């Protein structure tokens, strides 16, 4: 089929509109990433409006992360089979419809269902966006710039969600945290139709249904188990059963992928050392980062008494630092230095930021104690996310770009879900222990409880710093790729491993 009919530029020529196409891709990715956090600050208002119990309110967040993290691999393979632009547009339309449904929710069940639908369409949209980026920018220098912008949005999107969520909740209504996606998606659909090129999917291949059931089921079971560990406890039979089911299903998934004629996740993708290191680095970094978002949100609003807008704006320096680290440092250096020479220093900077936050008290000053930590965290994440995305998707065959992109996003989403549940459980149990040891007189409760809560936060942040240091060690030991200009072309296939 000629390039004129597919809308692609002639072979060997770069698309002159590719940077406008990047704007469309980045807009869609920003919408998906910030939706994981935009409702956090709005949650108290939504809970009051819809009469949610304290036990059920978590499902506003969990319904999205479960569907998103659990179905990403399937969404990535669908993008490869059906075509990236087609699934990109389908994901945008579906996400907008689900957002409108959630904004109009009249009951908690309707809101939970809409959030789950958002997660389903995000699982189709996110890998399509990253694979379109991978196949559009193949020149190493341009690829570095494009992934710098993409990495900045991926790293800062969650923090932007807090800011936007605070503004919309305070000045409009919590429902606008969902409605806002509709005009963004409509704009992106028009942009995609005009600027993005459709590369036909591999229509002859079949979808790996058993692999989808094993892989997606295993991920959902594990993420669900971590989400239930907070209210139920780690030794609860349901939690242990979910973990056991997740491990069994994922083991069955790996075994099946070795035998499947059209595997959902070709194992040579994750067996490649640099790619596996990038996936693991992403997962560990987001374990620490997403947990921090949760603690800081409650610390700023509950302990320091910030309004939703002020709390949201408190994350702005983190966002700006991520953008600077990603677009002004990583993007300029990636084609000159090895990726791990950016990842390891970035993760060490982020760990230093977390260590500074372990010193917070019930009366800490934002400018002197919180702001420096956020700047270090943001700069570190900006240095890290961009080379992680670029390394994970480099050298991927065209037919595998969607599922590889999905695996990167799965690492981020599952890591964030696990981090939120794990670190919140550590914080809660540490607070309870502190309260039991220090509350000797009921009259002291008003003073001791905030101290116990902050003590729990600091213990959990110590753990987060440890996880971030572990991510630095993983990046340093596993990611051995050379600078992209010395590596294989971006559109070259990954060689099959030698038996």
Contacts of 243 (CB under 8 A, 6+ apart): 221, 222, 225
Chain mean position to CA 283: 9
Distance, in Å, from the CA atom of 166 to the CA atom of 168, rounded to the nearest integer, reads 6
Round to whole Å and give the CA distance between 351 and 235.
30
Say what the pTM is.
0.75
Give me the percent of the chain exceeding a pLDDT of 90: 15
Does the pLDDT of residue 497 top 60, yes or no? no
The per-residue pLDDT for range 371-429, each reduced to its tens digit, is 999 999 989 988 888 888 788 877 766 666 667 777 777 787 778 777 777 787 788 78
- pLDDT for 348 beyond 70: yes
What is the average per-residue pLDDT within 443-466?
A: 85
Residue 346 pLDDT = 92
Q: Are 96 and 192 in contact (CB under 8 A)?
A: no
> What are the pLDDT digits (tens) for 105-164?
888 889 989 998 998 898 888 777 777 776 667 666 666 677 667 666 665 666 677 778
Task: At 253, list the tokens.
Answer: 């998934």
Residue 473 has pLDDT above 90, yes or no: yes
Query: Length of the chain, please?
Result: 499
**474-487 pLDDT tens trace:** 998 988 877 765 44
CA separation for the pair 191, 132 (Å, rounded): 14
Instruction: Identify the pLDDT of residue 83.
Output: 76
Return the SS3 of 180.
coil
- Closest by Cα among 391, 397, 407, 409 to 346: 391
Are the CB atoms for 319 and 159 separated by under 8 Å?
yes
Mean pLDDT, all residues of the chain: 79
Residue whose entry in the numeric block shows the structure tokens 């999107």:
157
Q: Does residue 268 register a pLDDT over 50?
A: yes
Q: Given a cut of 50, is residue 8 above it in pLDDT?
A: no
Confidence band for 466, pLDDT divided at 50, 70 and 90: very high
Judge whether residue 307 has pLDDT over 70. Answer: yes
| Cα(319)–Cα(105) distance, integer angstroms | 30
């Amino acid at each position: 089929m000629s390039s004129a009919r597919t809308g692609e530029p002639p072979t060997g020529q770069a698309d002159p509109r590719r940077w406008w196409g990047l704007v469309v891709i980045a807009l869609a990715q920003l919408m998906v990433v910030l939706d994981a956090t935009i409702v956090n600050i709005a949650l108290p208002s939504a809970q009051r409006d819809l009469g949610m119990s304290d036990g059920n309110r978590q499902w506003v967040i969990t319904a999205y992360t479960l569907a998103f993290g659990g179905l990403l691999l399937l969404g990535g393979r669908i993008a490869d089979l059906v075509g990236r632009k087609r699934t990109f547009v389908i994901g945008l339309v579906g996400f907008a419809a689900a957002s409108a449904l959630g904004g109009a929710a009249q009951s908690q069940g309707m809101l939970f269902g809409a959030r789950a639908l958002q997660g389903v369409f995000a699982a189709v949209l996110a890998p399509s966006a990253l694979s379109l980026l991978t196949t559009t920018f193949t020149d190493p220098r341009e690829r570095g710039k494009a992934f710098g912008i993409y990495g900045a949005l991926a790293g800062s999107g969650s923090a932007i969600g807090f800011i936007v969520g605070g503004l919309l909740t305070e000045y409009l209504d919590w429902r606008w945290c969902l409605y806002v996606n509709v005009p963004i998606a409509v704009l992106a659909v028009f942009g995609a139709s005009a600027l993005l090129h459709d590369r036909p999917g591999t229509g002859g291949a079949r979808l790996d249904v058993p692999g989808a059931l094993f892989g997606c089921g295993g991920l959902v079971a594990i993420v669900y188990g971590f989400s239930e560990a907070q209210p139920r406890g780690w030794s609860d039979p349901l939690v242990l059963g979910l973990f056991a089911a997740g491990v069994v299903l994922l083991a069955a998934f790996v075994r099946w992928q070795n035998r499947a004629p059209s595997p959902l996740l070709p194992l040579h993708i994750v067996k490649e050392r640099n790619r596996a290191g990038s996936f693991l680095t992403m997962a560990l970094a987001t374990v620490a980062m997403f947990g921090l978002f949760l603690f800081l949100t409650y610390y700023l609003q509950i302990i320091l008494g910030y309004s939703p807008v002020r709390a949201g704006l408190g994350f702005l320096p983190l966002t700006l630092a991520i953008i600077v680290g990603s677009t002004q440092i990583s993007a300029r250096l990636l084609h000159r230095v090895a990726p791990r020479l950016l990842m390891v220093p970035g993760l060490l900077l982020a760990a230093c930021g977390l260590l500074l936050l372990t010193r917070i008290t019930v009366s800490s000053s934002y400018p002197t104690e919180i702001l420096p930590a956020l700047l270090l965290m943001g700069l570190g994440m900006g240095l890290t996310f961009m080379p992680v995305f670029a390394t994970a998707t480099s050298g991927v065959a065209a037919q595998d770009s969607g599922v590889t992109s999905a695996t990167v996003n799965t690492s981020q989403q599952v890591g964030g879900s696990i981090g939120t549940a794990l670190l919140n459980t550590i914080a809660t149990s540490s607070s309870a222990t502190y309260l039991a040891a220090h509350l000797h007189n009921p009259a002291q409760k008003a003073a001791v409880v905030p101290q116990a809560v902050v003590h729990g936060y600091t213990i959990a942040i110590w753990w987060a710093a440890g996880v971030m240091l572990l991510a630095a060690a993983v990046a340093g030991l596993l990611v051995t790729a050379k600078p992209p200009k010395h590596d294989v072309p971006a559109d070259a296939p990954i060689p099959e491993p030698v038996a």
